[in-house]
Structure 1
Amino acid sequence: MTLSKKMINAQVMETNVDVFRCPICLSEMVMMDGSRLVCADNHSFDLSKNGYVNLAPQAHVTKYDQALFEARKTVMNSGFFDGVLESIVKTMEAQEHAVILDAGCGGGTHLSTILSRLTGDVTGVGIDLAKEGITAAAKEYPGAIWSVADLANCPFQTEKFDTILNILSPANYAEFTRLLKPGGLFVKAVPESGYLKELRDIFYEDKGQKEDADPVARVADHFDEVNTERITYTFPLAAELLAPLIQMTPLTWGASADKVEKALQMGIPTITIDFTIITGVKREESGLCLVE
């Protein structure tokens, strides 16, 4: 019998049900009938038809819609981020048996790609507050755990993850250090000044962008053995990728229709990828909560 995507995802959840904790009462959870997670206090969370679970009890409205995630998938499937993902995979290659959390996984493409390139026995868990992203991930990439969840209240037990990925997403370091096993690996990917500079030149012109606080220092506040690697390259941009690239990046949100049309008409032949990969190892005693 061919298993449905919901059944495939449910099996992975059931096998790894010990990682979950109820987001309402924080108690342990079990899988019932292959279709719902239930805690000791009988809070129940049904799996969707595609096999993800919504563990964010309060409704959240995000600015990320289905069209945006489709645009992101188109760009990501082109190999746009391959250099960045290869660097991340190299930091994780020593892990033969690992449970990996992608915090802020969006539509799941990054996590799915990374899992496919690791040779060990790995289990992937992707969380995001955007229901549209998790819906797309569960549908497109069965075989992992996908959950709508809040970084401020991650629905997982303490010290259950070998690696936490945080790619182009906000961070909650208190939760990350709680969730990681002793000696667990944290990997954060942050854009640098050259990232998409061709679009920045169009949409920002001579206006400077506000720089975020130093992410390396933030990681070093909470993790030991902090290392960085700068990944910079140019990617040939096929004509059909320009529109979804403009749609997916916050750089262009709020731009006028005229400015978007100008960018589309320019026919940008190459685009710059510029990231720093920051890694750290969980220390014995974590610091205070610091959210970015």
Structure 2
Amino acid sequence: MNCPICHEPLTLEGKSYQCKNKHTFDRAKSGYVNLSRKQKASGDNKLMVQARSEFLESGYYAFLKDELQKLMAKHQPKCYLDLGCGQGYYTKDLSQYAKSAYGIDLSVPAITHASKIDKHTQYIVGSIYDLPFEGQEMDLLTSIFTPIPTKEAARVLKPTGYLVTVTPGKMHHVELKEQLYENVRYNPPLKPLEGFELVEQQEISQVHHVQDVMALLKMTPYFYKTPKEAIEKLQANQQGLAITFHFVISTWRKIDENKN
């Protein structure tokens, strides 16, 4: 890891990380380090982290994690980084395939949760748009439902490295949207990533009956964009909903600019 101020390497000195210029970052009891330079709280708050954790631990997205583990087993990266790792639901299992593993997110509550349940991974509070790593240091990156920082991803990836992205498929959560909105918008297809070429792509989907639909809603962006009346209607639903979970898993390789 590098210092976010002067970009010199950080070394662990006792309970703190320090660079040669004496910039110091304390290591939390649970093991994470805060390298964010933001003064205000960012990312998911404690309530959002709790809601997302409860939903994910119910196993609805387990089939997605299974497919990602197959990819990790295939590539066997030495150095792995999960971009926007949240509370570490995917990171914890995917990191087991790497010799060294990192997870980065701006949410302190999410990183605190992740670092408590996963001691194999070094968790970092920081921005995915200003990664605290040397150039060409990573063998594999994952970006699971997060914005994709293409420039930083290309910078830290080795020439032989890969970026794996997970994005919502067209029908993802369509039944939930039908409950909330008069005019349903389907998720658009994934656009090409600047500086990367697509190596392989697969779409996977399953339909599950979700009893606590509000728990699902609270972990989506819809919760903050939905009229109060629609949320009240959903809260009154005691039967639950059959919901489609549709994912697009894409593997990208950095384009070699020196290649003719």
| Both proteins in one fold, TM over 0.5 | yes
Q: Distance in 1 between matches of 2:69 and 2:43?
A: 30
Residue of structure 2 in register with 1:143 after alignment: 120
Among 159, 172, 175, which residue is 1:198 paired with?
Answer: 175
Code of the residue aligned with 1:67 in structure 2: it is L
Code of the residue aligned with 1:136 in structure 2: it is H
Q: Distance in 1 between matches of 2:205 and 2:105?
A: 27
Residue of structure 2 in register with 1:273 after alignment: 245
Aligned residue for 1:217, secondary structure, equals coil
Aligned residue for 1:74, secondary structure, equals helix
Among 33, 39, 42, which residue is 1:59 paired with?
Answer: 39
1:265, distance to aligned residue in structure 2 (A): 2.5
Q: Distance in 1 between matches of 2:43 and 2:191?
A: 28
Residue of structure 2 in register with 1:236 after alignment: 209
Aligned residue for 2:160, secondary structure, equals strand
Quickly say closer, same or farther: Cα 1:196–1:208, change in 2 above 3 A. Answer: closer
Q: Distance in 2 between matches of 1:114 and 1:28?
A: 26
1:68, distance to aligned residue in structure 2 (A): 0.6
Does the 8 Å CA contact 2:30/2:112 hold for their aligned counterparts? yes
1:280, distance to aligned residue in structure 2 (A): 1.0
Matches within 5 A, 1:41-56: 41-56=21-36
Matched, 1:30 2:11: yes
Among 218, 221, 234, which residue is 1:247 paired with?
Answer: 218
1:97, distance to aligned residue in structure 2 (A): 4.9
TM-score (normalizing by structure 2): 0.91
Among 32, 52, 59, which residue is 1:72 paired with?
Answer: 52
Matches within 5 A, 1:1-292: 20-33=1-14, 35-62=15-42, 64-116=44-96, 118=97, 121-206=98-183, 208=185, 215-218=190-193, 221-237=194-210, 239=211, 241-266=212-237, 267-285=239-257
Does the 8 Å CA contact 2:72/2:94 hold for their aligned counterparts? no
Q: Distance in 1 between matches of 2:134 and 2:185?
A: 42
Code of the residue aligned with 2:204 in structure 1: it is I
TM-score (normalizing by structure 1): 0.81
| Paired residue total | 257
1:114-161 deviation per Cα after TM superposition (whole angstroms, max 9, x unaligned): 335x4xx53321101111211111122222111111122111111121
Does the 8 Å CA contact 1:183/1:283 hold for their aligned counterparts? no
Residue of structure 2 in register with 1:5 after alignment: none
Q: Distance in 2 between matches of 1:58 and 1:265?
A: 39
Q: Distance in 2 between matches of 1:115 and 1:205?
A: 41
Instruction: Quote the RMSD (CA, aligned, Å).
Output: 2.0
Aligned residue for 1:80, secondary structure, equals coil
Does the 8 Å CA contact 2:213/2:241 hold for their aligned counterparts? no
